[in-house]
Amino acid sequence: MNNFIEYFYGIKVDKVIYGNKYYSFIYNGYVYRLYIVDSNINTKSLYEINKKLVGNTLMSEIIVNMNGEVISIYNDIDYILLKIFVNINKPISLEEISFISNSLMIEKINVNWGMLWSNKIDYLEDLINENGKKYPLIVDSFNYFVGMAENAISYFNSIITDNNYKYVISHKTIRWRDTVEALYNPLNIIFDYKVRDIAEYIKNSFFNNNYNIFNELVIYLRNNSLSLTDVNLLISRLLYPSFYFDMYEDILIDNKEEKIILDVISRLDEYEEYLSKVICFFKDNYDVYEIEWLKKRRN
């Protein structure tokens, strides 16, 4: 890999470390990561967005190779090299999410969480039907989380959105142990409703034992204007158990140990209480729809 990096990028390094789907090295005081990427990635659009954000934010910079190309191919595998400007150990905060989401907006795009979530459930059901015998923990817990997802879909489908809605920089995934590197990774960027990342942060705060979440939300709402539609969208996403489905794919697709989901399924009662408190927090400020099965958690 050292020879590959020198040949394609003219960078001579002594030590390259393999991480999760990327190679990492240090050069001139900066961390670089060479990511394995999907060959179908839209490099032109990705590179144009990256150029707009680099300099105005701490967005990691896509480094083109010696041929001026975004993609470098080695042994039939596509790679993109990123130069990282953030502290890769710094935790994510609502303040950081707010900053990056306001850095670039676009007009109406086709976003339908309900349809995406329905398709995801169908896909995951097919996977478990084919591999269920190997994963008893998933088999025992899967229907519960499908029920949560179906509640999220129903909630989302009841929301009427504004045709003039502005879509902002968001992220494909924000996991509970991610650092700000995930926020400023251009390979993780998408455009979506501005509450997408906020909802993921709130869910992750439970599993990260973030006891300051409500104070953070008070400050966030003081500095950011959320409409009733925004808050209803946020609640629909809070109901969707993305954390579980991410782990599900880690296990069935990336061959991680099934026991990683124990952290989630062992705390379901606590998590329901937490969701109920979060929704109650927003209900104190907005006329949001009630969630009957969570309302009981407050009684």
Quick one: pLDDT at residue 108?
A: 67
Residue 243 token pair: 């954390």
- CATH fold of 2-84: Phosphorylase Kinase; domain 1 (3.30.200)
First-to-last CA distance in the chain?
59
State the SS3 of the chain.
CHHHHHHHHCCCCCCCEECCCEEEEEECCEEEEEEEECCCCCHHHHHHHHHHHECCECCCEEECCCCCCCCEEECCEEEEEEEECCCCCCECCHHHHHHHHCCCEECCCCCCHHHHHHHHHHHHHHHHHHHHHHCHHHHHHHHHHHHHHHHHHHHHHCCCCCCCCCEEEEECCCCCCCEHHHHCCHHHEEEECCHHHHHHHHHHHHHCCCCCHHHHHHHHHHHCCCCHHHHHHHHHHHHCCHHHHHHHHHHHCCCCCHHHHHHHHCCHHHHHHHHHHHHHHHHCCCCCCCCHHHHHHHC
- Farthest-apart Cα atoms in the chain, separation: 65
pLDDT, one tens digit per residue, over 38-79 is 878 899 999 999 999 998 899 999 999 999 999 999 999 999
Quick one: pLDDT at residue 110?
A: 76
pTM higher than 0.85 for the full model? Answer: yes
Quick one: pLDDT at residue 63?
A: 98
CA distance 187 to 181: 11
Quick one: pLDDT at residue 283?
A: 93
Quick one: pLDDT at residue 147?
A: 96
Query: Which residues, other chains included, contact 48 with Cβ-Cβ below 8 Å and sequence gap of 6+?
Result: none
Could you give the C-alpha distances from 10 to 23, 114, 293, in angstroms and in order? 16, 46, 59
Quick one: pLDDT at residue 22?
A: 94
Q: Tokens 């670039």 map to which residue? A: 104
Residues found in the chain = 299
Backbone angles phi, psi at 259, to 5 degrees: -65, -10
Q: What is the dihedral of CA 290, 162, 201, 127, to 10 degrees?
A: 80
For each successive 10 residues of the chain (299 residues), what is the average pLDDT? Answer: 94 91 94 92 92 93 97 94 96 94 80 94 92 89 96 94 82 93 96 95 95 95 92 96 94 91 94 95 90 74
Quick one: pLDDT at residue 102?
A: 86
Let me know: does 82 contact 62? Beta carbons within 8 Å: yes
